[in-house]
Structures are given as structure tokens and as C-alpha cells.
Structure 1
């Protein structure tokens, strides 16, 4: 099952080109927006699974898509969760929970956007699998973690390295939270759609040149392990977003280092979900 955010309304996709407006199809029971759907996720899933097959009555236009979780109460992001990325970043592979930071909600955008690069900065790319929580999770064991996930999406943890690393201590949250620095999409895909949700290819390219490619089976801490570890401290709420970490190939780890430039196009994908498309312009500050 795939659920999109079309002009702020929850849409159940029937194909890549069409879908059903959830609020209209459920006679007002669910929706109209996705945050309200996540609050009643189990009932929504039961309704959607029992829905007779029907042709979509809403056209899906990529330019109108927003993030499949546009207003999470918490955005948790994981660092150093692929061995080769930890190595290129100059760190040892974490043996306990990897670094956890947040991206602020105002950085979230939809799948196809134009992003303004901060002047004087070095903006980097980090393709990631994103998990969206569908059921409140507190002290959840890994064996039950997938039951608390509404679905998966594609994310870019865009990172401005100058502000991120400046000062006496790194400012990860600020360096990763400029406007448009958290595109998510193109839609949410429920976990049952994947033969193995723990082994998906992901990657990204700049103007057609591949810069990252890996499989989520290479994650040091899998999605279930992350949920187990995070939920020991943080109560995860419906609609919350987890950026699960990026593989090797970021600009900071290259020799020479290489960062995004105005006029370039970044395409990011995860197998079985879809892709994001970001273009870049230079800001004046």
C-alpha cells in the first residue's frame, strides 16, 4: 500500500498516476490530512485493506506532493550507521547506539524541490531510508518493532558542513535544518509491500553521476534495532520520522572534498519506494 500527501490531503495510490482521496473515500472517517491518519493508523489500515479495488479518482502530480509525514512531532536522525561511512568520516564503527540528532520540522519538504544553498557553506548529500512511526512505541523489543512502523520512504539528510562543524562543539541539528534540507517522499510504502524490508538498495546521483549506493542490510543498527534502542529513552509517536543513516560516498569524505553547487540536480532513491529530485540555487546569505 502506498499513501501520498497531495496538496496536504492523504491519498491512497491506486497507480503511479492516480489515487483515492482518503477523506472522501472513507466518508470523512479518516483524514483529510496524513497527521490525522497516523493517529488512527491501525483502524485506517484495516479499512484500507478491506476497501474494494477501485480506479483512482485523483490525479497524482509530482509537483503537488508533500512529505508523507509533513508534521512529525519528532524527527530523529542517526549518524555513522554504515561501516564505510563511519570510516570515511574518521570515526570508529559504533558498538552501542550510533550518534542521534534531530532535524527540525521546518526543514521538511516534499520529494521534488528547489533548495537554496546557504552562502559561504558546504552543503553535502546523505541519502537515507526513512521510517515513519504508526503506533506509539515505548520500550519496544526489536522483534516487535516493525509492528510500530507505518511505512518507509526516501529521505535526504542534506547537511551544511561549515555550520555543522563550527564552534567548540558540533551543531548537527542546525547544520542539517536549513529550509528544504529534509526532503522526504515521494510517498509512504507500508512494510508488507517489501519481500524483506531490512534489505533494500538505496543511492543517489548528481547530474547522472552516481555518488552513493548501498543496501540497508549493511546498516550497523537495523530499523528494528534502532526502534528498540530509541524507544528505551524516547516515546516514539505516530507520524514521527527516523532518518536511519547514510552509506559511504558523501562529499565530506571524498578527496578532494566535493559539495553541491547551484544548478546541479540530485536524485535519491530507495528500492521499492521511488525517488527524490532536488535542484539547487545559491542563496545570498
Structure 2
């Protein structure tokens, strides 16, 4: 089953999945404001900063959340062990991919991303509401470890033995600018693969063949050990989703650059190499 679902496919489902809105922006304002202004009927809001991440600190700006936090968020939406879940955000699936990855990592078996998000839903004439559904009493219990995870040491090993993809914009990868973290640059040996190139102008993912060709040009194939990271582990999940669509599994360095730089002994590279 594809990790994506289209608006037409969602509308055609005989049984409605649990819908989760994870609209979020790195620069703000909080996604809750956008959710309150309008969302898919029946969708629950899950906050990326507080429910899909732990408190900022030594593990980075968006470290892994506690299993209990994920359990509470999903139970509030009525999720049980076999409940199908569809996640979405405003358009390009940056935040939705983080939810997809976190939920899968913690054991949700059936979770898909609405391709094109809220923008695609609106463009297709989908109903929008400001009604907030009542909290439910799901039975899901989150358990960690269902997807491959990298720490700083593992990321360095992948950079040397395989392909470590840096999902940030080229100027951040090169260290020319750094708007979020106190140190600019990238992990030595990493290859820049900005997530903006995973989607088209509407925010929908490119076809699997085009994604596979894109990653192939960066040295990724079926025999390659692949890892992904970004600034704080959000767009890294988007890259992991794009790789999965192309048939290539990847491990995520969830702490990403914001964790890497917490140890001054770790090397920092700048430029485009």
C-alpha cells in the first residue's frame, strides 16, 4: 500500500479513517490557528512541536517524543491497534511526513499522507469546517523502534559507507546562511538533496519514477545504505517518505543538524562538497 492517499481515494473510502491535521510552519504562526480557521470534517489537530517531538535540548530542536505522548495524542483521536490513519498539513506534506514517520516509528501500521494536503482538498471542492470533534478514547499503545533510527555516530558512519542525504536548502547545507541553529554547515560527507525538489508546484509528490531518478543521480540505489537528516528532523521525514515512494528504505537521524552541533568535537563541513 502506498504511503500516500489522494483526495479522490480518501473520498472513495467506504470507511472513514481517523483524520489528523498537523499543519505547522517552521517560522510560525502555530498550526493550531490555521486548523481553527478551517480543516477537514472530523479531523483532529496534533501539534508537531509538543506531540510529535520532545522538548528541545541536547537531542536537538525536535527530538523524539515520549511514547506516552504519542499514545495520548492518538488515543484522543480514537486510534486503536488496527485503525487506519490519514495525516495532512497545509500543502507540501512537510509536517504530515513527520507525523507519518513518528506514528510508524511508534507502531501505527496503517498511516498515510494526504498528497497535496489541505490545499488539494480545497482545490477539489472538499468540505471545510471549523467544528472541533470531541475527544475520543482510543486504545492504541505506542512502542518505539518500528523504523530504523540514526544517532550522530550512525549518521557519520552512513556518510562514510553509504549516502547521507541532507534535506535542507542548498544555502544552509553550504553554511552560507543559518537562520535556525548557532552553527552553519553540514555533516562531512553528506550529499545535499533539498526536500523542495520532492514535490511539484502544488505540493504533491513527484511520481515514483522521477523520485527514483532524482535520488539515483545523488548516488542512491537498491544496494546503498541511506540515511537522511535536516535541521531538526522534520524535513528529514519528508525525504524518508520520498525515498519510500521510490522504493528505497532510509534511516532517519532524528536529532539532525541541531543535535550534531551540540558536541563541539564533531566536525563541520561548509561549501557544496
Fold match, TM over 0.5? no
TM (norm. structure 2) is 0.24
Higher share in helix: 2
Q: Which has the higher contact order (CA 8 A, sep 6+)?
A: 1
